[in-house]
Every structure is written in structure tokens, then in C-alpha cells.
């Protein structure tokens, strides 16, 4: 959800645009007799990041980590919207168990939360961001004064406020399935559906289904009242305020904490089909045939780019498609991407100063890491 970020961070890690910036490293054709340049290491990539834009950074490329500033390669960080991939994987596991139906209306599970205006929206449309749910209501930010980073909203409260605001504006939802608009409300609804059908907390299902089976010992979804982050970690600031400890209220949408090594392990397991049966594994990379909303800055052009599994398809300058997800929390910009065959993969976590949007540097990281 973009609305929860401080102004200097808005959209930094949510967007990987179509055009490669002129400053990014581009492949050069070899000249006769010349030796092709070596593929950059994780340390090469992290060393290229300007300290005026990032106070700290860590990158793990093909299993090898590197760091810059007062950060170590195995530091913990708040992964933000990268959490959605965990959430959607849990949902697809429950689909495989026939406990959730892709074509089942969301109101079947959440009748008191989702208004009748959205009665045709299905679980599958939450997964591929074609639900047409309204934009999220306002969430805590710097305008709320001191301590805003510790304030929170509940999943049901945020959904209810967002639907109420849309009704007050007399908004008519788009036809479900027709337009893809990246929207964090979808993930909050998915988390609530998991709890409804299992009778257990979303955090329990996450631990039981993904974290423990994969041995992700440094990955967690903190309780709603737990602002702490394990050490080692970066200390992060917004407008001079240290916000390292902050509310994990984004929950199933963006509340998890992890490390680069754990995210690398999760990404590898997901791509190799270790978490889902074949039928649901196909959906991990299945992008709907829908247009991209004009307000959607995540996808290049006018075509959808998010899959049913929540992954974003991004095209490298050489035409190759790679898959991954970005995510932000105040003080952190993160993401992971990989080629479909896992020939190359990258996990990154950046601590921005706010001096630059950082989008060009995120593209540079992805391209340098994944393109031969």
C-alpha cells in the first residue's frame, strides 16, 4: 500500500518502469578479439550505489551477499509488500486443499466486511489485483505528528474505512477482472479469508505452511503490538526521526521481517515448485489478460504485469522477462527478482536518505544482477 509511506519513500520500491535510465549499466556488444566483461558481483553492485541516496544497503546475488554502510549482509529488515508473495502462496495452498475457491465470491468469506457493491469479486481477482477494490484509506504518516511510526490500523478497520470512503465518493467499481490495479487491500482481505477458513491466525498458518518447512529461522510476522526488529539491523530515519521500531500493522500485506538469505531460500523454493502442487504452481506465473489501470505505475505500458501468485513480470533490456516483487516500509526499500530458471536471482534491501526516488538504482540492481 503506497499510502502508508512517508512522502520521500512513496512508490520508490513499488515501481520498475518500462524505460531503462540512461545512467544504468547497459550491455555492450563485444568487439573483435575482446574479452566479455565479467558479470558483476554483489559487492560490485552495492559499491556502485551513491551514499548520498542510501545510508546503507545489502544485496545477495546468486547466493553471495555484500553490504554497504553500517549494514551487514545478514541484517534483518522489514520486507514490506514482499510479504504479499508469502500471503498469496498460503492462499494457493488452501486452494489446492479445496478450502478456498478461486472463483468463489469474496463476500462468501467476508460478508460483513465487503459491501454488496463488490459482490461479484472473486478470490482469484484479489490474487491478481483485478478486484476493483477502492484505494486504501489513509494510514499513519508524518502528518500525524510525533510517534506516527508506532501508530496502527487493523485489517478490518482499514478495509471498512476504505469501502466507506469509496461509498461517500459515490464510486462505481470497475467490472471485476477487467482492469489490474495494484492494491494492498487485496492482501488484507486474503489474510482475513485465511483466518476464516482455517480457524487459526494468519501468522500461525504462515509459520506452519512456509516458515518452518523451509527452515526460515530469521523470518517472522510480528504481533500487532510488537514494534521491535531483531539484531543485527539498520537504524533508519525519516525527517530526522528514528523509525527503526515501528508498527507492523501492514500484516499480511506488508508486515513481515526477514533476511536476504531467508528470502533467497523462499524465492528458490517457490520457483522450483516446492510449496505448491503443479496446478497451483502454474498460477504463480499466470498474468491475467487485463489492461493496466491508468493510475497503475507498477506495470510498463497498458498491460497487466502481476501474476495470480503476486509476482511482477519485468522485462530486461535484452527482452528477457524476470519475476519478483518489491516492498517498502519507512526506512527500507526491498525486493527480490529472479530469472524463471533461477539462472540468476537477487535480493536487496536499501536504506534511502530521501534525496532521490531511487527508482533508477533499483532498476540498475535488477538489471546488473539478472542479465548476463
CA 101/CA 78 separation, integer angstroms: 31
Q: What angle do CA 359, 364, 366 make, to 5 degrees?
A: 100
Task: Kindly give the confidence (pLDDT) of every residue in the chain, 372 residues in length, as a single tens digit, with 9 standing for 90 and above.
Answer: 433 333 333 333 333 332 222 223 333 333 333 444 568 999 999 999 999 999 999 999 999 999 999 999 999 999 999 999 999 999 999 999 999 999 999 999 999 999 999 999 999 999 999 999 999 999 999 999 999 999 999 999 999 999 999 999 999 999 999 999 999 999 999 999 999 999 999 999 999 999 999 999 999 999 999 999 999 999 999 999 999 999 999 999 999 999 999 999 999 999 999 999 999 999 999 999 999 998 888 898 889 999 999 999 999 999 999 999 999 999 999 999 999 999 999 999 999 999 988 899 999 999 999 998
Helix (H, G, I), strand (E, B) or coil at 14: coil
122 closest CA partner among 131, 113, 114, 132? 131
Q: Look at residue 237 in the predicted model and tell me its pLDDT.
A: 96
Q: Look at residue 38 in the predicted model and tell me its pLDDT.
A: 67
Q: Look at residue 357 in the predicted model and tell me its pLDDT.
A: 87
Q: Look at residue 297 in the predicted model and tell me its pLDDT.
A: 83
**CB-count burial class (<10 Å; 0-12, 13-18, 19+) for 204:** middle
Q: Which residues contact 38 (CB under 8 A, 6 or more apart)?
A: none
Q: What is the pTM of this model?
A: 0.90
The dihedral formed by the CA atoms of 228, 82, 120 and 170, expressed in degrees to the nearest 10: 70
Q: Are 148 and 196 in contact (CB under 8 A)?
A: no
Q: Which residues contact 98 (CB under 8 A, 6 or more apart)?
A: none
Helix (H, G, I), strand (E, B) or coil at 233: strand
Q: Are 279 and 109 in contact (CB under 8 A)?
A: no
Amino acid at each position: 500500500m503506497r499510502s502508508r509511506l512517508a512522502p520521500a519513500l512513496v512508490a520508490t520500491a513499488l515501481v520498475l518502469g518500462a524505460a531503462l535510465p540512461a545512467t544504468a549499466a547497459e550491455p555492450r556488444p563485444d568487439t573483435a578479439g575482446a574479452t566479455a566483461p565479467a558479470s558483476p558481483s554483489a559487492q560490485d553492485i552495492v559499491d556502485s550505489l551513491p551514499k548520498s541516496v542510501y545510508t546503507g544497503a545489502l544485496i545477495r546475488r546468486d547466493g553471495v551477499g555484500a553490504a554497504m554502510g553500517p549494514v551487514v549482509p545478514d541484517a534483518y529488515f522489514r520486507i514490506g509488500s514482499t510479504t504479499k508473495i508469502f500471503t498469496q502462496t498460503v492462499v494457493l495452498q488452501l486452494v489446492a486443499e479445496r478450502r478456498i475457491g478461486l472463483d468463489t465470491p469474496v463476500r462468501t468469506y467476508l460478508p460483513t466486511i465487503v459491501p454488496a457493491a463488490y459482490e461479484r469479486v472473486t478470490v482469484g481477482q484479489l490474487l491478481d489485483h483485478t478486484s476493483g477494490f477502492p484505494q486504501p484509506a489513509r494510514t499513519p504518516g508524518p502528518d500525524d505528528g510525533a510517534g506516527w511510526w508506532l501508530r496502527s490500523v487493523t485489517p478490518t478497520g482499514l478495509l471498512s474505512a476504505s469501502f466507506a470512503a469509496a461509498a461517500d465518493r459515490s464510486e462505481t467499481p470497475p467490472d471485476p477482472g477487467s482492469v489490474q490495479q495494484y492494491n494492498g487491500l487485496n492482501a488484507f482481505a486474503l489474510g482475513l479469508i485465511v483466518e476464516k477458513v482455517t480457524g487459526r491466525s494468519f501468522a500461525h498458518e504462515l509459520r506452519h505452511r512456509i516458515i518452518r518447512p523451509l527452515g526460515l529461522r530469521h523470518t517472522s510476522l510480528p504481533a500487532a503490538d510488537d514494534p521491535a526488529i531483531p539484531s543485527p539491523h539498520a537504524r533508519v530515519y525519516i525527517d530526522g526521526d528514528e523509525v527503526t521500531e515501528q508498527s507492523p500493522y501492514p500484516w499480511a500485506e506488508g508486515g513481515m521481517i526477514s533476511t536476504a538469505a531467508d528470502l533467497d531460500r523462499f524465492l528458490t523454493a517457490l520457483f522450483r515448485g516446492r510449496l505448491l502442487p503443479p496446478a497451483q504452481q502454474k498460477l504463480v506465473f499466470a498474468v491475467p489478460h487485463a489492461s493496466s489501470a491508468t493510475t497503475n505505475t507498477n506495470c510498463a505500458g497498458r498491460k497487466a504485469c502481476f501474476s495470480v501468485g503476486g509476482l511482477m513480470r519485468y522485462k530486461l533490456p535484452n527482452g528477457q522477462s524476470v519475476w519478483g516483487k518489491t516492498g517498502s516500509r519507512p526506512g527500507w526499500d526491498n525486493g527480490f527478482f529472479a530469472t524463471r530458471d533461477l539462472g540468476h536471482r537477487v535480493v536487496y534491501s536499501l536504506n534511502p536518505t530521501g534525496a532521490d526516488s531511487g527508482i533508477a538504482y533499483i532498476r540498475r540492481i535488477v538489471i546488473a544482477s539478472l542479465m548476463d
